[in-house]
Structure formats: C-alpha cells, structure tokens
Amino acid sequence: MLKKLFGGLTTPRIQYIPLEGRLPEPINIPLPPQVTLILDGAADGKNAILPKIGDAVKTGQKLTLVAGGDAYAISPATGTISGVAPFRGEAGQVGTAITINTSKAEDPDDQFAAAAQEPTLDSAAGFLAGVPGCPPLKLFGDPDKPIHTIVINGADRDLLVATHQCVVQSRIDAIAHGIAVLKKITGIEAVIMVVPVNIMGGYGSIGAEVKFIAPTYPSALPHMILKDVLGKVIPAGKAAEDLGVAMINAEAVASIGRAYETGKIPFQKLLTVIKKDGGKVLVSARIGTPIKEIVKTVGETVNEMDRVILGGPMMGVSIFTLDTPVRPDTDALMIQDKAGIPFVSDYPCINCGECIRICPARIPVNMLVRFLEAGQYQEAADLYDLYSCFECGLCSYVCVSRMPIFQYIRLAKFELGRIETAEVTNV
Amino acid sequence: MFNQKKFIVSHAPFWHDESKVSIRYYNILLATLPAVLFGIIQYGMPALAVVSLSVSSAIFWELLMNRATKRPVTITDGNAALIGMLFAMLLPASSPWWLVITGTFVAIVVGKHIYGGIGANPFNPALVAIAILTLSWKGFMNFDQALLNFNFDFNMAYPLAAVKRIGSAAAASFSAGDLLLGRQSGGLGATFGLGLILGGLYLILRGFIRWEISFSFLAAIFITALVFHLTNSGRFAGPVFHLLTGNTILGAFFLATEDSSSPVNFIPMLIYGAGAGVLIMLIRNIGGHADGVVFAILLMNLANPLLDKIRPKALGKVNSHA
C-alpha cells in the first residue's frame, strides 16, 4: 500500500516502479491438464455451435462458434474438447468458454504456416488476433477510421506490472521483426514506440521512433500517451483510433514478429504475478491456463476472503474463481491478503477536493459523483464531463470518504451505453 | 462447486491511500488544541466548561439526528465534535450553559442535518450558530460586556470594538506581539494567534485544509486593510492589527476552509478566500459590526456553488453548443 507522504503542498504522485537489476527469467508454467478459451458471442440456440464435446483439436487450430464467424480463438494445445459453456465477463460481456483436455503430444495445425509464407493483413487478422498481447488488428481494415500512426506501448499501464517492460528488454529482436511486419502489412510508416523513461538504451535499429514517458501513473494510459507524446487530445468519449492512431502493446508486436519468423502462432503469455507481500514474479503461461496452476507454481497460498485480481491494483478486475483462464490480454495476476483489503464505504462526498487535485482529466469529480450517486447519468455526461474520464481510478484511490467513484463512473458509462444500444436497435 | 473458496470480488482500484473522514477531522481537532488549551489556561474553569459542554452537546445533537432520521450513527467521525469545538472557540468564556446548548443545536441540526448531513451543508455550521446567537442575544456575544468580570494584566477592551469607536489611535495600545500571544480579549479559542497559525500550518502541510483559501483570505485582509489605512490612517487601523485581532486567523485556517461550504477548484478557492477577506474589512471598517469574519464567510459560502462553476476545461471536452 502506498502511503501519502507527510508534507508537500503538491498532490502526491504515484510512481511506476521499474524492475530493478538483472531481468528475471520468467518461471515456466507447465502445460495444465485443461485449458479454457473464451470466444466472443453467446452459445445460445440460434447459433449452431461448431466445437462439439469430444472433438479433437490440434495446437494452432482455429475455432469459431459458427461457420465463417468473425470471432475466433486458436487452440493453444492439442487435445479434445471437454466442455462448452456460456461465459459472462466483466460489464455484461457475453462469451462462450471452451474447455480442452490437453494431451502431452503436440500435434501442430499447419494452416497458419501456409498462410504466413508472405505476411499479409488477412493472415494476421485471421490468425493472430488472440496472440499474447491481443493486437487490435481489426483497426487496420476499417475504411471509416483510417489509421496513419501506430503507437507501440512498451510501458505497463498499471502499477506494479512489469510484463511489457520485460518484453521490451528481453525480446527486442522479436519487436523489431514485428514492427517490420506491421509496416509491411498495413503500409503505415509512422511507428512510434513509447517506453518508460527509466528503461534506457538499446533501441538503435528497431525501426520505430522511440519516445519516453514519465514514470508517473497514469502516464502509460493511451489518453496520456497521445497527449504527452503526440500532443493530441482524444475528444471525450472517443478512442485513439478515432484520431487515426492504433495503440498496440509491446508484447503483441513481439508476438506478431515471432509468429511470422517461425511460422507458428505463439501461445506463451508473459504475466507478472504480484504476491501478497508485494513481491513480483514473472511467469510464462500458455493461454487458457487456469489461474490456480499459476498460483500453485509460484507457491502462493490463496485463502477464503482474499482477493484475486487479473491486472494491477488500479485498473484490474477481481475474479471469483481460480478456474478463470489466462487470456491474451491478462498482463498480471495480483493476490491480496484479506487483511490488506481496503473497503469502500457508503459515506457521502465531503467535498474535500482531493479528487479534483489528482484527476488527470480535470473532471469536476465532486459534482460528477453527486449526480452518479443519484443515478442521473445523462446529466452527469452532459454537465460534468463523464466521458472525459479515461478510467485511471485515482479518484477512488484518494477519496477520503472511500466512495467507489471509479465504479460509479464505469456503471454510468455502461448504463448509458445500454440505452444507446437499445435506441439504435429499436429504429 | 459449493465448497470452493470464496474471494472478495469488488471493483478497481484495489488500493487506497488510507485517508479517512475520521482521520481528517481528528487532525483538525488536534490542530485546534494549542489555541483552545491556551484559552482554558487563560480563562480557567468557565472556558473548560464551555468547551466541554459545546463538544459533548454537539455530539449529542448529532446522535439525536442520526436516530431521528434513521441513518447510521456518525458521531465517531469527528465532524460533530469539530463543529462543537469551533463553535466554542468563537464564544466568550463566560457564556452560560443554555447559550452553548442552543448554539450547538443550531449548528448541528439547522446548520448541518437539515441539509442532509455531512458534506451537504451549504454554510459552515459553527458560523450559522454564531450568527444566529449574535442576532438573538447581542449582550452575551459582545466581548466587552461578556468578559467584564475577567481582569488580566493586559488591555481587556475588545480591540476591534475599540478601534471602531475611537479610530486607529486605539490600535496603538495593542502591540503586535501581545496580540499574537493571545494577550487580548475575544473568543476563548480565537485570540492565541501563534497557536492558531501553528495549527493551520500543520493542517496545510498534512493536506487537511486547502492552503489556497487561507492564503488568499489573509492576503485580501492585508491588502484591503492597507488600502483603508492609507486612505484615512486616523480612522482605520493598519493591516497587521486587523490580521491579529478578532477571528481573523481562526477564520483563515479553520472556518473559511470548512470542506463542504468552500470551493475545490483553484481559481474559485482564491476568489472565495479573497472575497471573504475583502468583505471582512468592509464590515469592520464601514459596516455595523465590530468583527465581520462570521458574516463575511457565511456570505462567501452562499457564493460557493456559483464560484465553483469556474473550472478548468476537462480533457477532450467537446463544445456542445455547436
């Protein structure tokens, strides 16, 4: 837990703390007996679900819910499908969980190897959307939002996480190859890589312009990178791609580089495990590995009433079961002992102004939260800049009344989004 | 499935800087102690009785309102105790018990709970109480009358009233050192300038009050008093005198900075503090009251919602008038 410093008239700043000393070798998590993949889309009666229980799958085989469907997952292992179940993710995300019983013998599927002879956007978008790092390859084919700049984020967005900085330091060749591939398949020449200012050196021939960002949270979030590095302000409620900028994290670029170099789709996801004592361990796990395997391998004990978080302390998502699989965008696993969990309270805002001082988006949080508490989401959006929020969580972190401000903001955006969806589909 | 471990599932962020409402208000209470203890030593048992009764009755009214409104009991957060303490600091040490209990009733019930409790009060509750008592029982709130029976080895005339009556010549009988060290008549916790300044600096350094308000408040009093003094030095006392008398320092660090009734954005905080400072000097020099701190801050509390609309443009804000 970070404490506010005694003294200082200025706002306390929260720093990203880089990995110290020699880069640790990631601990390899052995192939678990079962892996679980999450596919977007519901497995309801309307969809003829293609993967059937008992089907044999090969390593690298493409799985879709319906024939020719957009959403797909690549099997990270060889084995047989043992379960297909509906999956509910964060904020009502609908998906289908496919469980595969793995076998020791790997039987590679060669569809990608055939497609990867010559790097094309089609082969990348058709096979690599689910590689470690989760590259947003869909952005490149969109005629409505032409992309002119690729920004590679070599910094970790959340505190304590070291995944992407570790990739930048240990797989710089794969990143360089990935940049070359990206340039070739997208035709975009403007590639910028941002790294934390405290990881210096060694980017000479990477093929991208290297820029540094401050080690102060939340400087590694897309909105702050665009503002600080490119001097562009993302309009409220929009994303980087609306300005023609595609944000890709370093691990995704390295995965793309590795895929075209070897002709094999990479499945090893690098994760930072943040233990109860605050210690960091890097692990390398196959996509789909249940969290319990990682907990077991790093020797951590998880007890009743502890908190298990996918992601870091500011923006992560807490999970309710250790069967939750590692997904392509799972950068960290954090385990909090029940003794160290700060609870939110139902106290009202006392108007102390701490959130105003710390908000990087200059939102009048004290007024916003009063509207959100009353459920007046549309007023909050119209009058008090709900959509300027880029969700760093600092307001909740400093709140003297311990209000769940960040949760209120996410809920408000979710509810307004539902209204919008309903209006669009009713027309 | 049913015997699996249950985890705590909640929304991000999973850390907190460990600040708390009670920590905030207990620290402000702590910062009032030098001035309050000084007042108790100076005036003896009557002052101790006023402080004790004020704090305890404020907590009692809070508990009563919690019960009456069927809301969680909030007496442990320190806010009611702080209101009682600040109210006592503004009173003459000789105040009778019924005055104190009526005052804390007005502060807690009328000043705070009617508006919905902590964080919702548009005015500083302690000041609402003082203002109503001043209008209702003038004699008990007039320091020259109320403290008639106390005799110390310094000038016991209330400095601001003396200056109002006979002009700036009266200020000469009060040395700045004496005023700073509390050798003056006034509220039982409002006269020991040095103690209040120490408490205020502690709160600013710990971030429990907003320094912008205190700073602009004091600066505005200094500048306005100086302008008045330069225009007519026979009638209006100098800026240092005004900074060290009445409730000025208590107002700057403890009254104007009350959380819910003051702005939180940078420019509004400066305007709010400066507005209160200017109003105080107008009331003191050409208004009807000896000290204007109470009414000036209440007036600026009234302007707070409007002032706080002056705020920086949010990141990526799209102009919706187009």
Q: pLDDT tens across A355-386, in order? A: 999 999 999 999 999 999 999 999 999 999 99
Cβ–Cβ contact B135 with A under 8 A = no
User: Confidence band (pLDDT; 50, 70, 90) for A12?
Assistant: low
Amino acid A112: pLDDT: 87
Kindly tell me the sign of the dihedral angle through the C-alpha atoms of A195, A196, A199, A201. Answer: positive
Segment A311-325 mean pLDDT: 93
Measured between beta carbons, which residues in chain A are less than 8 angstroms from residue B313? 362
B11–A406: do the CB atoms touch at under 8 Å?
yes
| CA distance, residue A355 to nearest chain B CA (Å) | 9
Strand pairing category for A245-249 and A209-213: unpaired
- Residue closest to B276 by CA, chosen among B238, B199, B236, B224: B224
Higher pLDDT, A278 or A36: A36
Segment B264-290 mean pLDDT: 95
B122: nearest CA partner in chain A: A351
ipTM of model: 0.91
Measured between beta carbons, which residues in chain A are less than 8 angstroms from residue B317? 236, 385, 388
Q: pLDDT tens across B42-95, in order? A: 999 999 999 999 999 999 999 999 999 999 999 999 999 999 999 999 999 999
Q: Across chain B, what does the average pLDDT equal?
A: 93
- Tell me: pLDDT of B211 over 90: yes
- Tell me: pLDDT of A4 over 90: no
Cβ–Cβ contact B156 with A under 8 A = no
Higher pLDDT, B18 or A426: B18
| CA distance, residue B100 to nearest chain A CA (Å) | 26
B118–A12: do the CB atoms touch at under 8 Å?
no
Q: Which of A314, A318, A320 sits opposite B15 (nearest CB)?
A: A314
| Joined tokens for residue A89 | 């993710």
| CA distance, residue A343 to nearest chain B CA (Å) | 9
Q: Which of A302, A362, A399 sits opposite B313 (nearest CB)?
A: A362
Residues for chain A: how many in total? 427
Q: Which of A138-147, A263-272, B133-142, B185-194 has the lowest mean pLDDT?
A: A138-147
Question: CA–CA distance from B270 to each of A100, A245, B257 (Å)?
Answer: 64, 40, 12
| Joined tokens for residue A399 | 């709140």
B316–A303: do the CB atoms touch at under 8 Å?
no
Task: Using CA atoms of B124, B125, B126, B132 in order, give the dihedral in degrees to the nearest 10.
Answer: 110
Q: In degrees, to the nearest 5, what angle opens at C-alpha A342 toward C-alphas A159 and B24?
A: 105
Amino acid A117: pLDDT: 83
| CA distance, residue B300 to nearest chain A CA (Å) | 16
- Tell me: pLDDT of A232 over 60: yes
Measured between beta carbons, which residues in chain A are less than 8 angstroms from residue B318? 235-237
